[in-house]
Amino acid sequence: MSTTLTTSFYSHHHMISRAEAQGIFGDDHVQFAGPELATKMDQLLKQYEDDFALRQPFFVNRYMGNDSEKEARLIGGCVESRTWGYLYETKARIRQYAAPPQGVQIQVPPGQVPPLIPGLPRRYDWDVLSQCWVRNKMPMGVTI
């Protein structure tokens, strides 16, 4: 067991299945969930899907609309027990501006971004404001 995890897998992205985990650690350490627990685990996963909008794609252009700047809160992980919860939270500032085609110039005062012009493509800049584990004081999913 001691060398299996360090020498048998050639990628940090290797997903260890539960059967593989049971083979590595043994029946004493890895047991499959019974029907009742499996149902509860499926319900918990469904709740996470709902709370964190895991099945809803994020389209930055829809989120921004016609606003030139917005802040977003993104959740990248969750750790919970019966009494506490922590979320890995990224707060970011998103800016969008017009991206005129090559050869097209827009006069803009120095220090300002080009205005949003209907029909022109848009570009997006993301600035990460913070990234850390935060205590989940109340049930809250992604509030982009």
Residues 11-38: pLDDT tens digits? 788 888 889 899 888 999 999 999 999 9
Burial of 87 (0-12, 13-18, 19+ CB in 10 A): buried
Least confident span in 33-37, 73-77, 96-100, 102-106: 102-106
pLDDT band for position 143 (cuts 50, 70, 90): very low
Bridge partners of 77?
A: 88
Strands (E), the chain: 69-80, 85-98, 122-135
User: At 89, phi and psi to the nearest 5?
Assistant: -110, 135
Distance between CA atoms of residues 21 and 10, nearest Å: 16
Through-space distance between the first and last CA atoms of the chain, rounded to whole angstroms = 43
pTM value is: 0.66
Other CB atoms within a 10 A radius of the CB of residue 106 amount to 11
Distances 132 to 61, 76, 89 between C-alpha atoms, Å: 26, 10, 6
